[in-house]
Structure 1
Amino acid sequence: MTVGASSSTDECASYSDYGSAVDLFAPGSAITSAWIGSDTATNTISGTSMATPHVAGAAAIYLADHPAATPAQVASALTTAATAKAVINPGTSTTDKLLYIGRRFENAADYPILDFSTAQSPITVTSVPGNAPATLRVSVDIKHTAIGDLQIDLIAPEGSAYRLKNYSDDGSTDNVLTSTPSTLLLKLPQEPGSSKSAIIPDATSQRLTSGLCSSDLVRTLSG
């Protein structure tokens, strides 16, 4: 497998390889790991040499559950599970997939966005106790002209609304896409007095007002 390196903001790192031979990206910037000098030595460096071990570790985890898997099957499993549209500006003819071995929740349905109305795209999250981390990101993929017409909220199970986009933001721009940095990197606000965001478990929905919609981890919404 050929591995590209992503930055802490999920951008293609300036030093990364790119092109059609890249299978997926993994974190490669400012990674702390073991180093020469002693059994406890560490160093923080950047490079595709830091990204590749992430993929090797993911392969080991997959093989632990699938010990008979061939190298081709492992590669296929990792690229299939990787998150698409997650890497910003990956480069010409380069995949935008980012290594993923954890759990993801998404809504695979398309929801029409009508003018002067509210649309909801529900996502069910199960078996994840406690609050979501403050670093949780919400990917959005919405097809709509002049997205300044849209207001996007993430609605927590108990009904709290977390604003992801205000009206007029991005003005006459068309579509809210996960490949757009300003929308891909939307972070949820922290709960007051807490180091974690007040969302998730068990059933979250995204609400679009006046033709708005969002989803936790993506699907195209038509309007």
Structure 2
Amino acid sequence: MVGLNSIVGNISGADTMKETPSGFSPYADNGGTIVAVAGDDFVVIASDTRLSVGYSIYTRGQSKLFKLSSKTVLGCSGCWCDTLSLTRLLEARMQMYLHDNNKQMSTPAVAQLLSTLLYYKRFFPYYVSNILAGLDSEGKGAIYSYDPVGHCEMSNYHAGGSAGALLQPLLDNQLGFKNMQNVTPEPLTIEKAVNIIKDAFIGATERDIYTGDGIHINVISQDGFNEEFFPLRKD
């Protein structure tokens, strides 16, 4: 009998999948990229719309963003069946909280809940890359990124998924102003954040076969919730 550790393999890096001698693996990587940028009073999160495995494209129109409340959006990429299982469980827990407390769960509370749910499954982790974006209790933009077992890090920008390693250095340069000299940072606006995200995805599409077709963009601000679609190359 093959043990669970042999089946799961080294999942901590979310890059490798170990198969059993029969060739079976409980995980499949369906690709996709998530990018989020937070400002003083807004947050922008975007995902591509390609769902694929290997060189086969299942669909070109599947968003990987899940609106959890009027101020919180979760972006998930990776194994699509794990994505659906995790998001449905998270939405159910938030619905229970709403019925018990007569109010929506705040973004920091959702971040903690998601971390707990991921840690609960640490011995057979969800094979997904998660980025949670929203407005905190003070109305400021907040972004939370996770590893497969629930470790959480809060930041002002983050890229995850199949092209995350390609896009993170770009965000470090354009938003974190790292490795730049004699630069005076200007206040980040929604328009600038959206343009940087579009440019990042255009570049990722040229280098990553699992990213493409289009970008689904969600903007959360004090003025409300807005959605936008931006097409990408389809080859």
TM-score, normalisation: structure 1: 0.26
Larger helix fraction of residues? 2
Higher relative contact order (CA 8 A, sep 6+): 2
Which structure is larger by alpha-carbon Rg, 1 or 2?
Answer: 1
Larger strand fraction of residues? 2
